[in-house]
Amino acid sequence: MKTHKKSLVSMADFSKEDLASILDLTKRIKSKPLSKSNILKNESVALIFAKPSLRTRVSFEVGVNQLGGSSITIRMDEISIGSRENVEDIAKVLSKYVKAIVIRTYEQKQISDLDKYSTVPVINALSNEEHPCQIVADLHTIKETFGKLAGLKIAYIGDGNNVAQSLIIGAALSDMNISLGCPEKYSPVPAFIKLAKKINPKIKIEIVKDPKVAAKNADVLYTDVWTSMGQEKEFKKRKKIFSNYQINDGLLKIAHKNAIVLHCLPAHKGQEITAKVFDQFSEVIYRQAENRLHAQKAILIRLLEG
């Protein structure tokens, strides 16, 4: 039995070298998306979803298929980790059937517990804390647009959520400076800043309340929804608190003149981004979504290689 397996539970599971290698592979895969890979031939991957998804689910299903395997999508309420059955039994049983487990859920701990007991790679497809697959695709998108990552400034505007937290680690791993404009009490958890500083003491990490300060001279403006999945009851309150944290023409003027705008999607136009700015940058935003597919195939290959 394989004793050493690699997983992607947190963006911080990657070293700088791991990430660079995955980004190189993403580029190669994108240039020949349907080239034969046998890595999953006759094998299966389990995809567990406790929250809705368009991009993550479809891109994983398509990606697994393109790698020669088949995917089994399981709704969390069919297996109910921790109530119908404990996480250890689920991890150990699934490991007998599938080559990898992809999971989108609420608690990060549920993913790390699954990883603890599983003998196959576990991939975080979004938790309340992190969204590492998204960030790999985002970094690839930035790299294919600017030809580099190191030295660029990314400004994240809005909620210091799962996407923001993985993005901070991603910036540290790729020598990018990052500035986050978040309302008071909606900043990322300080542990992520601490970790990013430890990974890369040379980059500049800034958390500010004023989105204009964050956006100043940024090469990339990035935003995400104000209300994440699971926070729907807070929608009204958040809509007020975040009303000033919008990527619009005014903010775009403050960024670098060649800046791009990214959005992980789904987007709520008129809230975190104006319809006008979205349309202006729709090519790169849809390409960012496309890159989920290429990036996740690269992640699967690297993790399965062990």
Q: How many helices and strands, by DSSP H and E, does the chain display?
A: 13, 9
3-state helix/strand/coil string of 211-223: HHHHHCCCCEEEE
d(C-alpha 105, C-alpha 118), whole Å: 17
CB 187 within 8 A of CB 207: yes
* Residue 229 makes contact with ligand NVA by CB under 6 A: yes
Selected from 26, 141, 187, 228, the binder of ligand NVA by CB under 6 A is 228
Q: Site mask, ligand CP, residues 45-84, x = CB under 6 A? A: --------xxxx----------------------------
Which of the choices ligand NVA, ligand CP, none does residue 10 contact, using the CB cut-off of 5 to 8 A by kind?
A: none
Q: Is 256 a catalytic residue?
A: no
Measured torsion, CA atoms of residues 195, 196, 202, 204, in degrees rounded to the nearest 10: -130
Q: Which long-range contacts (CB under 8 A, 24 or more apart) does 252-259 make?
A: 252/215, 252/221, 252/277, 254/212, 254/215, 254/216, 254/217, 254/218, 255/155, 255/215, 255/216, 255/217, 255/218, 255/219, 255/221, 256/153, 256/217, 256/218, 256/219, 258/219, 259/218, 259/219, 259/220, 259/221
Q: Is 268 a catalytic residue?
A: no
Out of 66, 134, 165, 296, the active site residue is 134
Which residue, 195 or 264, is less far from ligand CP as judged by CB? 264
Strand partners, 100: 45
Q: Which of 217, 157, 211 is nearest to 188 (CA)?
A: 157
Out of 55, 66, 104, 288, the active site residue is 104
Number of residues that bind ligand CP (CB under 6 A): 8
Which of the choices ligand CP, ligand NVA, none does residue 54 contact, using the CB cut-off of 5 to 8 A by kind?
A: ligand CP
* Residue 264 makes contact with ligand NVA by CB under 6 A: yes
Which of the choices ligand NVA, ligand CP, none does residue 238 contact, using the CB cut-off of 5 to 8 A by kind?
A: none
* Residue 59 makes contact with ligand NVA by CB under 6 A: no
Q: Is 131 a catalytic residue?
A: yes
In the complex, the smallest distance separating the C-beta of residue 125 from ligand CP, rounded to whole angstroms, is 8
Q: Site mask, ligand CP, residues 132-161, x = CB under 6 A? A: --x---------------------------
* Contacting ligand NVA within 103-162 (CB under 6 A): 126, 161-162
Query: What are the tokens at 90?
Result: 């689920």
Q: Is 75 a catalytic residue?
A: no
Out of 138, 159, 224, 302, the active site residue is 224
Whose CB is nearest to ligand NVA? 228
Which residue, 100 or 225, is less far from ligand NVA as judged by CB? 225
**CB crowding 33-54: b at 16 or more within 10 Å, else e:** eeeebeebeebbbbbbbbbebe
Q: Is 287 a catalytic residue?
A: no
Cite the active site residues: 104, 131, 134, 224, 264, 292
Q: Which residues lie near ligand NVA (CB under 6 A)?
A: 126, 161-163, 224-225, 228-229, 264
Q: Which residues lie near ligand CP (CB under 6 A)?
A: 53-56, 126, 134, 264-265
